[in-house]
Amino acid sequence: MRIDIITVLPELLQSPFNHSIIKRAKEKGIVEIELHNLRDYSNDKHKRVDDYAFSGDAGMVMTIEPLFNAIEHLKSQRKYDEIIYTSPDGQMLNQGKSNYLSTLNNLIILCGHYKGIDQRVRDHLVTLEISIGDYVLSGGELAAAVITDSVVRLLPGALGDETSALTDSFQDNLLAPPVYSRPAEFNGWKVPDILLSGNDAAIDKWKFEQSLERTKRLRPELLQDWGDE
């Protein structure tokens, strides 16, 4: 997979992509992540990428020309499956959307800034708008990092144990069950006996029951697909 990220602050994304799972995935050749400074595509002598809104509202708008230039330059090199804009009014990122994106080959992520981007870019170039929550950030870089991380960890070979992602919260619209590790007792607090039983079928049943109970208690809206269970 290749992910190209267009941003006015590429340095903000260098650290998140040079550690942990994403770093290992890059080293293994599982994913290629390229950061593109939007200012490099500006024809303005001062490399400006923003201007006042025609509406007269407060705040600056990312202008159309450098955005168009950047996207068209990338599209001239390869075919992109999705051109994503990080936007507060986009579709909410969830596990299903991350699963979908992980099946694609080439993505562009466009990081918004200021009061947003010229609407014509959204109308004619962007194919998918994604929000990571009902709040506004200073820019789309952190959202791009979240999207990238949620996708890369799903790529075959990215995790040490590929089955790990299959048991994450939300994969089946349930929260993950509680997890425990050694020692079996600490400070009088014990690991549930069932997990020490060695009975795989009973343990799987316990995990499902715990996931269902936890979801009902904490995120009941996730249970729509489970009917009246």
* DSSP SS3 for 226: helix
- CATH classification number, 2-152, choose in 1.10.10.10, 3.40.1280.10, 1.20.120.1200, 3.40.50.720: 3.40.1280.10
CATH class of the domain defined by 169-226: mainly alpha
- State the pLDDT confidence band at 56, using cuts at 50, 70 and 90: confident
Above 50 in pLDDT, residue 191?
yes
Amino acid at the residue 53? A
What is the reported pLDDT for 224? 78
Global pTM reads 0.85
User: Is the pLDDT score of 226 beyond 70?
Assistant: no
For tokens 């923003």, what's the residue? 50
Compare 45 and 167 and report the one with higher pLDDT.
Answer: 45
pLDDT digits (tens, 9 = 90+) for 141-173: 999 999 999 999 999 999 865 555 555 555 678
Would you state the pLDDT for residue 16? 93
- Scan for tokens 């998140």, then name that residue: 16
**Average pLDDT of every residue of the chain:** 91
Task: Catalogue the long-range contacts made by 199-207 (C-beta closer than 8 Å, 24 or more residues apart).
Answer: 206/177, 207/177
- What is the rounded CA–CA span in Å between residue 144 and residue 134? 15
Contacts of 7 by beta carbon, 8 Å cutoff, 6+ apart: 13, 35, 36, 37, 38, 111, 139, 140, 141, 144
Instruction: State the average pLDDT over residues 101-114.
Output: 96
Domain ranges of the chain: 2-152, 169-226
Q: For residue 55, name the pLDDT band (cuts at 50, 70, 90).
A: confident
Q: Which residue has the higher pLDDT, 90 or 172?
A: 90
